[in-house]
Amino acid sequence: MRCRVTSTRKTNPMNLANLRVRTRLFAGFGLLCAFLIVVVVLGTAMLGRIKSGTDVIVNNYMPKIEASNAVLTEVNNVSIALRNMMLNADPADRKAQAADVDKARANIAATFEKLAPTIVSEEGKALLRQSQEYNARFVAAQDVLLRHIGAGEIEQASNYLVKEYRPMLAEYRKVMNGQIDMQKGLGAKAAQEADATYDNTLRLMLALSAVILVLAAVIAWRITASITTPVARALAIAETVAAGDLTSRIEVTSKDELGLLLAALKKMNDSLLATVSTVRSGTELIASASSQVAAGSMDLSSRTEEQASALEETASSMEELTSTVRQNADNARQANVLAGVASSVAERGGAMVKQVVGTMDAINEASKRIGDIIGVID
């Protein structure tokens, strides 16, 4: 059964088949690389936001919390030193405790000085001013206690400690804890924003990955179809040609390598068709000549039969002629023998004739003599 391969598609300038296979592959992989670059850029931007939030937590909020805790630690150190001075009347020990108080004051002042430039929010600045005010009151209260202790007024110092110093210390700690809580809240908010950014980045990456996978599948399908479809057409054409069907109508619809392949197959098919047509015409001429040769052969056969019959008659005549020739040869041999005998007889007859002639000559001479005698007698 013959199959016919046809194509009715028209060449479209924007058709993917008009691009070289190499160009299609480069374009497909280039598009995927562009998508990957977009994903990487977006991912990098999102990671930058996450890093920025983390940096704010690590480099901004955590140092402020540590600074506030350091202030509270120094406040506690001052309170412990003042308590020790009230409990221990040793001058050397009191001097050492007083040095600890001075050191703690210096550390607190340095911490506030370092902390002030890092606070930018109005709420933070207000808390910082409040903390500094409480610290100034705290230092003044320390001076009152130190004067009572220095004067040996331990009871007055104890009363001041209980009625004035502790309530003020509690308020101071409350303000510093408020500063810490604010920084923790800001850090927690930054952490939530970082988590939200991470979640959004993850969802965006997953969505973009899904889109890229779909696009990659579509691109792969389109490129594969643009390659395998012409190859299948070329294979079908080759199979029809191999089956002996040269009636396929091949239309080249692309300008790529596969289009060149189809063009070559079309040229091959047309050449084979022309060759077959030429061979068919020659075969028809040969068939006609063969018919004529067959007719001539039949006529020649008839004539050959006639010639054979004539040859048979000739052969028969030749046999008769041969028999006659043989008889003639025998007769000739007999005639030759007889001729020999006749020749011998003739020779003998000739001799006898010669003798007779001689005798007749003698008789003639005798007759002449007799005539002469008779004449004489007459």
In sequence order, what DSSP letters do the residues of 121-169 get, joined into one string? SHHHHHHHHHHHHHHHHHHHHHHHHHHHHHTT-HHHHHHHIIIIIHHHH
| Environment class of 82 (CB within 10 Å of its CB; exposed 0-12, middle 13-18, buried 19+) | buried
Looking at the chain, the whole-number percentage of residues with pLDDT higher than 70 is 72
356 has a pLDDT exceeding 60: no
- Which is higher by pLDDT, 166 or 238? 166
Closest CA to 195 of 203, 42, 206: 203
Contact yes or no for 253/27 (Cβ under 8 A): no
Q: pLDDT (tens digit, 9 = 90+) per residue, 17-63?
A: 666 777 777 777 888 888 889 888 888 888 888 887 787 777 777 88
Give, in words, the CATH class of 16-232.
Answer: mainly alpha
pLDDT category, 1, cuts 50, 70, 90?
Answer: very low
Query: Considering the entire predicted model, what is its pTM?
Result: 0.52
pLDDT category, 308, cuts 50, 70, 90?
Answer: low
Q: Read off the tokens for 166.
A: 């502790």
144 has a pLDDT exceeding 60: yes
103 has a pLDDT exceeding 90: yes
167 has a pLDDT exceeding 80: yes
116 has a pLDDT exceeding 50: yes
Residue 57 has what DSSP assignment? I
64 has a pLDDT exceeding 60: yes
Positive or negative: CA dihedral 348, 349, 350, 356 = positive
Least confident residue range of 132-146, 192-206, 274-288, 339-353: 339-353
Average pLDDT over residues 275-284: 77
pLDDT category, 6, cuts 50, 70, 90?
Answer: very low
Q: Per-domain residue ranges for the chain?
A: 16-232
Least confident residue range of 232-241, 285-294, 326-335, 362-371: 362-371
- Which is higher by pLDDT, 283 or 157? 157
What is the C-alpha separation between 166 and 146, in angstroms, rounded?
15
12 has a pLDDT exceeding 50: no
What is the C-alpha separation between 344 and 105, in angstroms, rounded?
196
What is the C-alpha separation between 100 and 159, in angstroms, rounded?
23
Q: pLDDT (tens digit, 9 = 90+) per residue, 178-237?
A: 888 888 888 888 888 888 888 888 898 899 889 888 988 888 888 787 778 777 777 877
Least confident residue range of 17-31, 260-274, 312-326, 361-375: 361-375
